[in-house]
Amino acid sequence: MAIGCGFWEYNVGSKFRIYLSWESYISSNSRTGAIQMGLLVFLSYVILLNTVVPISLYISIEFIRLLQSKWIDWDNNMYYEPDNIQAQARTASLNEELGQIEYIFSDKTGTLTQNIMTFKKCSIRGKFYGDISNENKDNKRTTDELQAIKFIEQDNNFVWYDRTLIDDIEKNENNDINHFFTLLALCHTVVSEEQDDKIIYQAQSPDENALVTAARIFGFAFLNRTQSSIKVRFRNKIETYDLLNILDFNNYRKRMSVIVRKHGQIILYCKGADSVIHERLDPSEKNIMALTHEHLHKVASEGLRTLCLAWKELTAVDYENWAKKFKKATTSMERREEKIDKLYEEIEKNMKLLGMTAIEDKLQDGVPQCIERLTEAGIKIWMLTGDKIETAENIGFSCQLLTDNMIIKRIDVETEEDVTIELNRFRIELIEKIEQLFNIHIDNQNKRLNWKNLGINEYKFNQHTNKQINIENFQGFSLLITGHALVHALSDQLKIKFLELATMCKAVICCRVTPLQKSQIVELIVKHDKIITLAIGDGANDVSMIQKAHIGIGISGQEGRQAVLASDYSIGQFRYLERLLLVHGRWSYIRISKFLRYFFYKNFAFTFCQFWFALYCGFSAQTIFDAFFVTCYNIFFTTCPVLVLGVLDQDISANHSISKPHLYIVGQKDKLFNRKIFVECALHGLISSCIIFFFSYLCILSSIEPSGVVLSDFQTFGFMVATILVIVVNLENALEMWYWTGIYIFILLGTILLHFLFHFIMYSTLLRITFKINYPYVGIFQVALKSGTFWFTLLLICTILLLPVIGREFFRIRFMPSEIDKARLIQKFGIHKKQTTKNQIDPRQRQRSLSIRSTGSGYAFSQQKGWGPMITSGTLRTKSASRSDSRQNHKQ
Amino acid sequence: MPGQGETEEDHEQQKSKKPADTAFKQQRLPAWQPIITANTALPVFLIIGLTFIPIGIVLVITSERVLEHDIDYTDTNCMSTTAANTTCAQALENANYTGQTCTCRINFALDKSFDGDVYFYYGLINYYQNHRRYVRSRDDNQLLGKEGAAASECQPFQKNSTGSGKDYAPCGAIANSKFNDTLSLLYGSENVSVTNLGIAWSTDKAVKFKNPDNASNYFSSTHDKPPNWKLSAWELDEPNPENNGYQNEDFIVWMRTAAMPTFRKLYRKLLRNSTFQNGLPKGDYTLVVTYNYPVTSFAGRKQFIISTTSWMGGKNPFLGWSYIAVGIVCMITFVVFFILHKTWKINNPFTYQMASIQNNQRITTT
C-alpha cells in the first residue's frame, strides 16, 4: 500500500499539486517527497486496516466463552442431587477444547467409583469369611434363603451374609478374631462424634470409615478418642486403651500402626498394603501368609480393595527404649522425617499376621455407558490407578474400558530389559495381528505405527470387513502396565516406543502408579502428540495430572477439594463427563469455530473495502466510510448477531448429541476451524468486499437522481457501501445460524434496524438543530435512501453474495452431507436409520457379559498423609460433621 | 470466625444448588432450525431467476431511454479562438497559468431531441477529489458563516500568510480548486436558456452553507479570496444574494467532493421556455467554453455532458445487465441442481430415504 502510494504520489500526486499541495514537511522534490509520503501512508494504513483483527474480537470471544461456561454451570443434567453439587466451569477459556479431547486420563477411586467403601470380606488367620454361599458348611442355600444378616447397629451400606463369622465371634474362643477386630477398632485416625445418640465417624479416607464401621457392627465399637487414649466398647463392655503412638500413614510407607497399652500390655497394631506387611512379618508366619495370599488374590480379582493386618506384642523395656529414641528423633532438628521413618521401620518388624480385609468400592452410576459413548466418540481413555493389576483389570472390564473382544497386553515386569522385551514383543504381536486382520503388509517396521498412517479407521473396524476374515468382533488393543514397569517405560530410551504402542491401544490401564508417574504419563502424551488431553480425578494425588493435561476436571467427591481447586471444570459424577464433552464441549467448539469463521469473514469484507478504495483515492489512507461507522461497525452493526450465534447456536439438540457420539470426532480433527478454513473465510470476505465495492462503484459511479442531482459523491457512496455491507454481512450471519430463537431474530433485525436508525439520527438535520452539532454527513441518509439506484444495487449485491452460499449449502447437504448435516436432517425430519436399533441391542449384550463378572475395586489408603500427628497433638477436633474434611485437608 | 463459617455452610447446604429448570438456562429455547434442502433452495433459485431477468430488462430499457451526449474539451477539441493552432490547454500553459483566459467554441449536433428536463454536467477524469488530504481540507464552520479563524485543516490554504495575513474565505484546498470554466450553449445562434438554481442538494443548501452577517464586508475586506480564485466569493452571483457567497450553488456542488477520480457534477439545468419548451430539439449546437481550469498537467480530462433522466435517474446500463446476468445464472444453476437432485439418488441411501419419505408425506397430505 505504501509502495502504491509512493508510486502514485510520484506519478500523479506530484503533478496534482496545483490543486492539492503537499504538506510543508514533505520534500518538494517529487521522488523523495513520494518516498516520504509512502512511509507516512504505511503507518496510516496500519491503523486503517487493523480492523481485520480488531480488539473486539478478543472481547467477543471472552464474552462468548463466559456465557458458554455459564451454560455448564446452569445445566440441570449435570447437577448431582445427593451431594448438592452442580457442574462448575472454573475457567472460561477452555470450553471449545472440551470439544476436541482425544485422550482422557482418569483416576479410578472416587472418579470411576463412588469412593463409598463397604466391608465385604475378610480372612482371619487363614480362615476366609464373607462368601455369599459358604462352602464350608455343606448345606446349600437357595437364593430365597439368602438373607442379609441383621445387626443391632446397622449401617445403610453394610450387607453381610456369612453366618460363620458371627458364630465364631460369639463363640469367643478364638483370640485372633478379637485381635482382628480390636485392630480395626484401634488402628486408624478416625475421629468420632455423637449425634442424636448415634456415633458418626469422621475418617480421612472412606476405607478407614468402612473398617471402623465394620468393627462396630461386629461388636467392637470405637467410641471416641482423646490425645492419648481411645475409648471402645467391646462386647458391650466399655474399655479404654492408652494410645502411646500413632505411626502414621504416608504414600511411601503404605501402612500405619498404633501402639496401645492396656493393663500393662503394650501392643503394636499395624495395617497396610499386602506387599509392605509381607516384608515385615515374622518368618514363622510363612504358612499363614501363603494362605492369606491366596485369599488376597481371590478378592483382588473380584475388584475389591485389600489390606493386610498384623500385630505384635512389645515388652515394656523394648518399648521404653524405642520411645526414648523416638522422642529424640521427633525433637531433632535435622532430617527428622528420615529419622522417624527409620524408627518406624525398626519397630514394625517381626509382626504376626492377623489377616486381611476386603472392601468394595462400587462403580458410580452410568460409568460403563459413559465410557462406551466416549469411546465411540473416538476418545481414548487411560485409567491411572494405584490399585493392584488384578483389581484394575477387573474394574476395567466392569466399566467397559476393556472388553472380551480386545487383545489385552499385560506388562508386569520390573527390570529394564524385561520391559524392553515385553514392549518389543507387544509391537510384533500388534503388527502381526493387524497384518492378519486387515490383510495388509506393514513395510517399514521401524516407522511409528499409527492407525491413520495405516489407513484404518480405528473406531470402525467393521468398516473394513470386505476382507475374508471377519473382524466384526475385534475391538482393538489394550495395555495394562504396572508402576514398576512404567518407571522404565517412561525413561528416555523407551518412552517413544511406549508412546507408540500405547497410542495404538484403545485403552491403557496403568496400575500401582504414583502421582508423579500419573503426571509423567500425561506429559509424555502432551509433549509428543499434538492433541488435546483431559485428566479427571478427585483426590490430591490427581492434582499434578490435572495440571499437566490441557483440561483438568475435578470430581467434587469424598476426598476433599484439592482436585477441584486445581481443575478447570468440576463435576459431581464421572458420568457427567459425557454431557460435558459431547454436548457442551461439542457445542462450544462448533460455536467458537463458526464465530471465528464469521468474524474473520466480516472483518475481511469490511477492511478490504478500504483496500479497494485505496486504489481510487491515490493510496491516501482515506477511509471510504464515515469515521463513526468505522468505529461502530464492530460494536453495534455486526457484533450482536454473531455473539448470539456464538452463544446460542446448536446443530442438534443435547439428547441427539449424546446419542450420536461420533459427531464428536469433528472437533478432534479440528475440522471446523483450521488454517484451510481460515483462508477460505478470508477469501470469502475478500470476494465479498470486492463485489460490494466494485458493484457499488459501477452502479453508483454515474448515478444521477431523477432530478438531475449527482449522487456519486464521496459521502453518499460511503454510506451506500456501508449499508450494503452491513445488510450483506448480517444476512450471511443468518445463513450461518442453525438455531433461530426469538432472541436471535430480534437481535438480527434489531442490528440492521439499528444501522438505519443510527444513521438516520446522525445524518439528520435534527441533530444539528437540537444539539448544534455540525455533522459533515448531514442529509446523506434521506438522499441515499430515496435513490432507486441504491435499492436496486443493494438487492443485486445481496443476491450475488448470498445465493452462492445458499447454493453451496444446498449442494453439500444434498449431495455430500457431513456427519453434522446428516444428524441435523435426521433430527429435523425424524428419520431413524437401522443403526439405531442395532445400537440398542449392543449395550444389552454387553450388560449380560458384564454381569457375569463381579464388580468391585482394590487398595486401601488415600494417598495423602494421615491425620496421626493432629490426633496426637490434639489439633483435630470433631466439631463440624459432614463438611469438615475439606477444611482439614487445607490445614495440612 | 469458625462459628460464622459453619452457619454459612449449613445454610449453604440446605439451599439447593440445583440450577433453575428454565428453557433458557437449559438451552431448550424453542427455535426454528432451517436447513437448506431441495425444497427451499431450488424455489429460491427459480424465483430469483424469474424475477431478476424482467427487472433487468426493465432497467436496461429505462437506461436506454436516457439520452446522453458527452463532449471532451480538454485539449484538441477546444482550440483557442484568439491564438491560431493553439489549444486552450496550451494557451494556459504558455501563459504559465497567470490567470489568462482562453475561449473556444465547439460545434456539435444532437441527432435526437432531448425531451423533458435536460441537465448539463461537467465531468472530470483522473481528478482526485477523494484524496485524504483534499477531503479534509475545508472548514464547515466557516462555510456556515460562523465567526472565528479558519480551521487548521485548511492548511496551506488557511490564510494568506505571504501577503495580507487575512484568512481565506472560503479556506482549504477544495474551495481553492473550485472548477471555474464557464460553459454556455448556443442552439444555432440562440442562447440555450439555463438556470444555475436547484443544482445543489437542497439539504446542503439549507443546512450546510450560510453566509455570515454583513457578507459583502466579510468577503471583500476582512477575508481574502482563495489564491486560485479570480473573483471573491461575493462576486459569484451578485444579482442573486441568495445564490452568492457560500450559498452559491456552483460552489456548493463543488464542495460535495466526489467519491471516485472520475466524476461529474451538475452544472446547469435547462430552463424550459419558448424554443426549449419540450427540451432540447435536435440540431446543431455550439458549446462556448471559457477555459480557465488547467487539468492537462496531471493528465486530467474535462467533459461537458448533456443528459436527460428517467424515473431511475441517469444512464446506467450496468445495473440492468447485471440483473439479467444474475437471473440467467440463477436459472442455469436451478436447472443443473434440479437435474442433479432428481437423478442423484442411489449413491446416497440416506437422502434417498428422505426423499421417499417426503414424497410419501406429500402423497398423504394431497
Residue A115 or residue A419, greater confidence:
A419
Q: Is A107 a catalytic residue?
A: yes
On whether the CB atoms of residues A5 and A620 are closer than 8 A, the answer is yes
Flag whether A848 is in a domain.
no
User: Does residue A858 have a pLDDT over 50?
Assistant: no
Residues A167, A146: Cα–Cα separation, whole Å: 17
Residue A851's pLDDT is 35
Flag whether A841 is in a domain.
no
* CA distance to A643, A645, A671, B139, per residue, from A602 (Å): 13, 14, 20, 34
Pick from A16, A796, A821: CB nearest B322: A796
Q: Do B201 and A779 count as a contact with CB atoms less than 8 A apart?
A: yes
Boundary of a domain, candidates A519, A543, A574: A574
User: Could you give the residue ranges of the DSSP H alpha helices within A649-713?
Assistant: 654-659, 665-668, 675-700
A111 is in an annotated binding site: no
Residues 286-345 of B with CB under 8 A from A: 294, 297-299, 307, 309-316, 318-319, 322-323, 326, 330, 333, 337, 340-341, 344
pLDDT one-digit tens code per residue, A703-740: 788 888 888 888 999 999 999 999 999 999 999 999 99
* CA distance to A41, A353, A494, B211, per residue, from A292 (Å): 87, 9, 37, 112
Mean pLDDT (chain B, rounded):
84
User: Does residue A832 have a pLDDT over 50?
Assistant: no
Assign A376 to helix, strand or coil.
helix
A351 and A373 share one domain: no
Residue A748 or residue A557, greater confidence:
A748
Assign B20 to helix, strand or coil.
coil
Q: Is residue B130 within 8 angstroms of chain A, CB to CB?
A: yes
Assign A156 a pLDDT band (cuts: 50, 70, 90). Answer: low
Averaged pLDDT for residues B179-190: 91
Mean pLDDT (chain A, rounded):
81
Rounded to the nearest angstrom, the minimum Cα separation between A468 and chain B is: 25
What lies within 8 Å, CB to CB, of B63 at 6+ separation is B310, B312, B315, B316, B317, B319, B320
Residue A873's pLDDT is 61
Residues A424, A419: Cα–Cα separation, whole Å: 9
DSSP B129-165: TT-HHHHT---HHHHTT-SSPPPGGGTTSSB-TTTT-
Grid cell for residue B169: 474565505
What is the CATH number for A101?
A: 3.40.50.1000
A737 and A606 share one domain: yes
User: Does residue A212 have a pLDDT over 60?
Assistant: yes
Averaged pLDDT for residues B150-177: 85
Q: Any idea how long chain A is?
A: 892
A341 is in an annotated binding site: no
- How many domains would you assign to chain A? 3
Burial of A215 (0-12, 13-18, 19+ CB in 10 A): buried
A499 and A592 share one domain: no
Q: Do A706 and B26 count as a contact with CB atoms less than 8 A apart?
A: no
Residue A434 or residue B191, greater confidence:
B191
Averaged pLDDT for residues A302-323: 86
Averaged pLDDT for residues A647-672: 88
Per CB-CB distance under 8 Å, the chain A contacts of B31 are 650, 739-741, 744
Rounded to the nearest angstrom, the minimum Cα separation between B27 and chain A is: 8
The domain of A185 spans 113-362+853-891
User: Does residue B115 have a pLDDT over 60?
Assistant: yes
Boundary of a domain, candidates A553, A574, A595: A574
| Choice among A12-16, A594-598, B206-210 with the minimum mean pLDDT | A12-16
Per CB-CB distance under 8 Å, the chain A contacts of B41 are 806-807, 809-810, 814
Cα torsion at B254, B256, B258, B259 (round to 10°)?
170
Q: DSSP E strands: which ranges in A364-485?
A: 380-384, 407-411, 477-482
Residue A21's pLDDT is 63
Burial of A416 (0-12, 13-18, 19+ CB in 10 A): middle
Q: Do A73 and B135 count as a contact with CB atoms less than 8 A apart?
A: no
Residue A457's pLDDT is 66
* CA distance to A226, A286, A364, A654, B204, per residue, from A242 (Å): 9, 31, 40, 60, 103
A697 and A549 share one domain: no
Boundary of a domain, candidates A536, A554, A574: A574
On the CB side of B189, CA atoms within 13 Å amount to 0
What is the CATH number for A219?
A: 3.40.1110.10
Pick from B2, B130, B357: CB nearest A829: B357
Which residue of chain A has the CA closest to B202? A779
Per CB-CB distance under 8 Å, the chain A contacts of B121 are 710
Assign A62 a pLDDT band (cuts: 50, 70, 90). Answer: very high
A4 is in an annotated binding site: no
Which residue of chain B has the CA closest to A779? B203
A91 and A172 share one domain: no
Maximum average pLDDT range among A39-53, A58-72, A274-288, A757-771: A58-72
Assign A682 a pLDDT band (cuts: 50, 70, 90). Answer: very high
| A·B CB contacts under 8 A | 293
A518 is in an annotated binding site: yes
Flag whether A846 is in a domain.
no
ipTM value? 0.89
Residues 573-632 of A with CB under 8 A from B: 613, 616-618, 620-622
Query: Which of A75, A83, A107, A131 is flagged as catalytic?
Result: A107
Flag whether A844 is in a domain.
no
Q: Do B299 and A15 count as a contact with CB atoms less than 8 A apart?
A: yes
A271 is in an annotated binding site: yes
Rounded to the nearest angstrom, the minimum Cα separation between A416 and chain B is: 51
A153 and A265 share one domain: yes
Q: Do B318 and A718 count as a contact with CB atoms less than 8 A apart?
A: no
On the CB side of A16, CA atoms within 13 Å amount to 26
Per CB-CB distance under 8 Å, the chain B contacts of A831 are 350, 353-354, 357
Pick from A621, A706, A710: CB nearest B132: A621
Rounded to the nearest angstrom, the minimum Cα separation between A788 and chain B is: 6
Flag whether A835 is in a domain.
no
Residue A892's pLDDT is 34
pLDDT one-digit tens code per residue, A321-340: 888 888 888 888 888 888 88
Residue A535's pLDDT is 93
User: Does residue A551 have a pLDDT over 90?
Assistant: yes
Flag whether A843 is in a domain.
no
* CA distance to A696, A813, B235, per residue, from B314 (Å): 15, 44, 32
Residue A284 or residue B285, greater confidence:
B285
Rounded to the nearest angstrom, the minimum Cα separation between B37 and chain A is: 6
Per CB-CB distance under 8 Å, the chain A contacts of B311 are 706, 788
Residues 755-794 of A with CB under 8 A from B: 765, 768, 774, 776, 778-779, 782-783, 787-789, 792-793
What lies within 8 Å, CB to CB, of B113 at 6+ separation is B278, B279, B280, B281, B282
pLDDT one-digit tens code per residue, A234-262: 878 888 888 888 888 776 777 888 999 88
Residue A18's pLDDT is 59
A163 and A267 share one domain: yes
Residue A34's pLDDT is 76
Residue of B8, B16, B35, B121 to mutate for A, most A C-beta atoms under 10 A: B35
- Report DSSP state, residue A831: P
A313 and A382 share one domain: no
On whether the CB atoms of residues A191 and A206 are closer than 8 A, the answer is no
Rg (CA), chain B: 33
Per CB-CB distance under 8 Å, the chain A contacts of B358 are 829
Percent of chain A whose pLDDT exceeds 70: 83
Grid cell for residue A836: 439405531
Assign A861 a pLDDT band (cuts: 50, 70, 90). Answer: very low
pTM for this model (two decimals): 0.81
Per CB-CB distance under 8 Å, the chain A contacts of B208 are 778-779
A161 and A107 share one domain: no
Assign B5 a pLDDT band (cuts: 50, 70, 90). Answer: very low
| Choice among A463-467, A687-691, A838-842, B37-41 with the minimum mean pLDDT | A838-842
Flag whether A399 is in a domain.
yes
Which residue of chain A has the CA closest to B200? A709
User: Does residue A699 have a pLDDT over 90?
Assistant: no
Burial of A552 (0-12, 13-18, 19+ CB in 10 A): buried
Which residue of chain A has the CA closest to B322? A796
User: Does residue A140 have a pLDDT over 60?
Assistant: no
User: Does residue A847 have a pLDDT over 50?
Assistant: no
Residue A862's pLDDT is 40
Pick from B33, B133, B316: CB nearest A20: B133
pLDDT one-digit tens code per residue, A360-403: 878 888 888 898 889 888 888 999 988 778 778 878 888 888 87
A699 and A551 share one domain: no
Residues A37, A741: Cα–Cα separation, whole Å: 51
Assign A855 a pLDDT band (cuts: 50, 70, 90). Answer: very low
Per CB-CB distance under 8 Å, the chain B contacts of A618 are 128, 130-131, 261
On whether the CB atoms of residues A461 and A474 are closer than 8 A, the answer is yes
User: Does residue A788 have a pLDDT over 80?
Assistant: yes
Residue A465's pLDDT is 46
Rounded to the nearest angstrom, the minimum Cα separation between A108 and chain B is: 26
Per CB-CB distance under 8 Å, the chain A contacts of B126 are 12
pLDDT one-digit tens code per residue, B192-242: 999 988 899 888 888 888 888 888 888 888 888 888 888 888 888 888 888
User: Does residue A141 have a pLDDT over 70?
Assistant: no
A566 and A597 share one domain: no
A154 and A297 share one domain: yes
Assign B8 a pLDDT band (cuts: 50, 70, 90). Answer: very low
Q: Do B134 and A703 count as a contact with CB atoms less than 8 A apart?
A: no
